[in-house]
């Protein structure tokens, strides 16, 4: 290790170091001033965001090639860091209101983000695993943050058990790949694959295990069982953060590993990916229809979104289409991030003590009593559905069109049909908000409000310039060797 190596991953070093500093500083911050911890964490995130942007997307390797920084990492890091800021904005008032306020929440959030950033840098399977654990462990704790609440405890335990099981599968996959090729570094694995040396059966088995492990993390059917319970039980800001962060990091790992290393296994893997994407879209959307609790509804919606995102991987072996489809996926990930944080910002303002205010029926009258919040929620629901004039529409448009380009018309059709199905439950929220009488109690907070309105503005605003966002995503992908 040299100074140069550290300099390459400077944003990550600063973030990890800062999380320890905040953790210690929090010890001397009095109980009623935890806003300071939140502010310190937010300042750290802003500084790291600045460092990340200043470094730009030039390709740099460090630590003997195990770490790779490029445009792809830059794109995702911006999503993670902005997501972290949104996570803090959503958490501060909520934690105080629900009497969960403990300073550890914010350092844990920073550590989770360090793990996510490390995941985007990973150029070695060991680093992938390390990053996976670094981002998962804080999320387990955050899921159980309302520890006097049984549901929250259950969520944390479920998430921990299934999450560690998934980590075990990933590790076993890594071991098999190492056994097949003698390499854990991605370039080494790529070379072995190209040369055709190495045990093909082991390769396939290892790749399948990695796929299963990451499917657990990203919530792809049939590995999604934990998601509704965990999303419902965890404190809402933690749910919002993990539904974006953990998912994006899981897909980042899939992109880094699958697209670069396994193209020659596509004969076997493409049908599997096709089937997984199709089932995930169908199951997620159909099960969401019968949900009455908004947190569960968004959990199933999040499963369905995983299906759409996975769709981009299906043509991954086709070099002409794959960069387009991965760029479409990065684009969709941005739309998903903004929409999810926005929707959760509204949910957090609606949630009352003891988990009241979480039924869809509780949203009656929101549109008339609080027109801005109602409008924002409407925009998010439309964006999830994929209605034009929102970012979600362009996301789905690019995803489906690249799927057709890659020759998977059937999959695009399933995506289209399930989107129509999803309109039913997304629009029901809108209908309840505007057409049913009621006066929901709303706990307004300026930071949460700001998150909701800013997200709504960006979701609509960027929908007018989708081309330039897609260009950014394409640039990020082109450097993904």
Partner 1 sequence: MLADWTYIGIFILVALFVPAIAITFAAILSPRVPGTLKQSAYECGMESVGKSWIQYKSQYYIFALVFLVFDVEIVFLYPFAIAYNQLTLFAVLEVILFLLILVAGLVYIWRKGELEWA
Q: What are phi and psi of 350, to 5 degrees?
A: -85, -25
- Whole-number Å distance between alpha carbons of 36 and 42: 10
* Residue closer to partner 1 (CB basis): 5 or 405: 5
Report 62-91 residues binding partner 1 (CB under 8 A). Answer: none
Nearer to partner 1, 15 or 462 (CB): 15
Residue 438: other Cβ atoms inside 10 A: 15
d(CA 145, CA 153): 8
| Residue count, binding to partner 1 (CB under 8 A) | 8
Q: Please enumerate in sequence order all residues whose Cβ is within 8 A of that of 120, keeping only pairs 6 or more positions apart, or say none.
A: 72, 73, 76, 77, 80, 249, 252, 256
SS3 label, residue 356? coil
Query: What is the rounded distance in angstroms from the CA atom of residue 101 to the CA atom of residue 91?
Result: 9
d(CA 443, CA 449): 10
User: Which residue, 28 or 201, is less far from partner 1 as judged by CB?
Assistant: 28
Minimum CB–partner distance for residue 5 and partner 1 (Å) = 11
SS3 of 273-295: the string is HHHHHHHHHHHHHHHHHCCCEHH
**Is the distance from CB of 105 to CB of 22 less than 8 angstroms?**
no
HSE, CB side, 13 Å, CA atoms: give it for residue 431: 6
**Which residue lies nearer to partner 1 by CB, 156 or 283?**
156
Residue number, 142 or 330, with CB nearest to partner 1: 142
| Shortest reach from residue 77's CB to partner 1, in Å | 23
Q: Which is nearer to partner 1, 21 or 275 (CB)?
A: 21
Residue whose CB is less far from partner 1, 104 or 359: 104
The answer to whether 167 touches 129, Cβ cutoff 8 Å, is yes
182-200 as b/e, with b when 16 or more CB fall inside 10 Å?
Answer: ebbbbbbbbebbeeeebee
Among 2, 31, 320, 354, binds partner 1 (CB under 8 A): 2
User: Which helix (H) or strand (E) is 62 found in, with range?
Assistant: strand 60-62
Residues numbered 329 to 368 that lie near partner 1 (CB under 8 A) are none
Q: How far is the CB of 460 from partner 1 (least distance, A)?
A: 44
- In the bound state with partner 1, the residue whose beta carbon lies nearer, of 25 and 416, is 25
CB 14 to partner 1: min, Å: 14
Among residues 361, 368, 353, 375, the alpha carbon closest in space to that of 453 is found at 375
Nearest approach, Cβ of residue 98 and partner 1 (Å): 22
Q: Which among 16-24, 44-52, 119-127, 209-217 is the span making contact with partner 1, rule CB under 8 A?
A: 16-24
Q: Candidates 1-9, 302-310, 326-334, 342-350 — which segment interacts with partner 1 by CB under 8 A?
A: 1-9
Distance, in Å, from the CA atom of 108 to the CA atom of 110, rounded to the nearest integer, reads: 5
Instruction: Give min distance, CB of 462 to partner 1, in A.
Output: 40
- Supply the minimum distance, in Å, between the C-beta of residue 134 and partner 1: 14
Q: How far is the CB of 158 from partner 1 (least distance, A)?
A: 18
Residue 1 is a binding residue for partner 1 (CB under 8 A): yes
> CA 277, CA 465: separation in Å to the nearest integer?
28
Bridge partner list, 60: 69
Quote the least distance from Cβ 3 to partner 1, whole Å. 8
DSSP character at residue 220:
-
Give whichever of 2 and 468 is closer to partner 1, judged by the CB atom.
2
* Nearer Cβ to partner 1 (24/450): 24
Q: How far is the CB of 24 from partner 1 (least distance, A)?
A: 6
Binding string to partner 1 for residues 17 to 46, with x set by CB under 8 A, is what? ---x--xx--xx------------------
Q: Which residues of the chain form contacts with partner 1 (CB under 8 A)?
A: 1-3, 20, 23-24, 27-28
């Amino acid at each position: 290790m040299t100074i140069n190596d550290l300099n390459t991953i400077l944003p990550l070093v600063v973030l990890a170091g800062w999380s320890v500093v905040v953790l210690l500083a929090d010890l001397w911050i009095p109980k009623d001033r935890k806003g300071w911890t939140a502010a310190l964490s937010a300042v750290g995130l802003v500084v790291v965001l600045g460092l990340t942007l200043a470094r730009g997307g030039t390709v740099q390797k460090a630590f003997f090639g195990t770490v790779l920084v490029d445009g792809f990492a830059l794109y995702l890091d911006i999503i993670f860091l902005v997501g972290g800021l949104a996570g803090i904005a959503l958490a501060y008032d909520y934690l105080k209101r629900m009497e969960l306020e403990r300073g550890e929440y914010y350092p844990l959030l920073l550590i989770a983000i360090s793990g996510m950033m490390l995941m985007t840098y990973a150029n070695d399977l060991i680093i992938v695993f390390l990053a996976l654990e670094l981002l998962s462990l804080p999320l387990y704790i955050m899921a159980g943050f309302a520890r006097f609440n049984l549901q929250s405890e259950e969520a944390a335990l479920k998430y921990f058990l299934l999450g560690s099981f998934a980590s075990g599968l990933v590790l076993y996959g890594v071991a098999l790949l190492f056994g097949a090729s003698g390499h854990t570094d991605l370039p080494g694995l790529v070379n072995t694959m190209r040369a055709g040396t190495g045990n093909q059966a082991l390769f396939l088995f290892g790749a399948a295990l990695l796929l299963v492990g990451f499917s657990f993390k990203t919530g792809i059917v049939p590995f999604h069982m934990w998601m509704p319970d965990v999303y419902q039980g965890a404190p809402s800001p933690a749910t919002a953060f993990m539904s974006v962060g953990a998912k994006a990091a899981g897909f980042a790992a899939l992109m880094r590993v699958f697209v670069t290393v396994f193209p020659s296994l596509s004969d076997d893997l493409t049908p599997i990916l096709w089937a997984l994407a199709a089932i995930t879209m169908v199951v997620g959307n159909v099960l969401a229809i019968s949900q009455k609790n908004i947190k569960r509804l968004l959990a199933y919606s999040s499963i369905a979104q995983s299906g759409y995102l996975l769709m981009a991987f299906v043509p991954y072996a086709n070099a002409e289409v794959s960069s387009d489809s991965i760029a479409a996926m990065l684009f969709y990930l941005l739309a998903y991030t903004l929409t999810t944080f926005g929707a959760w910002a509204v949910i957090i303002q609606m949630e009352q003590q003891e988990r009241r205010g979480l039924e869809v029926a509780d949203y009656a009258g929101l549109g008339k009593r609080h027109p801005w919040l109602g409008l924002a929620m409407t925009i998010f629901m439309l964006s999830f559905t994929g209605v034009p004039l929102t970012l979600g529409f362009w996301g789905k448009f690019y995803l489906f069109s690249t799927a057709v380009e890659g020759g998977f018309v059937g999959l695009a059709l399933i995506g289209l049909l399930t989107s129509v199905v999803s309109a039913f439950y997304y629009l029901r929220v809108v209908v309840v908000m505007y057409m049913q009488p009621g006066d929901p109690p709303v706990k307004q907070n300026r930071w949460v409000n700001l998150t909701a309105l800013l997200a709504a503005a960006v979701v609509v605003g960027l929908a007018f310039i989708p081309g330039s966002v897609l260009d950014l995503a394409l640039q990020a992908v082109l450097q993904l060797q």
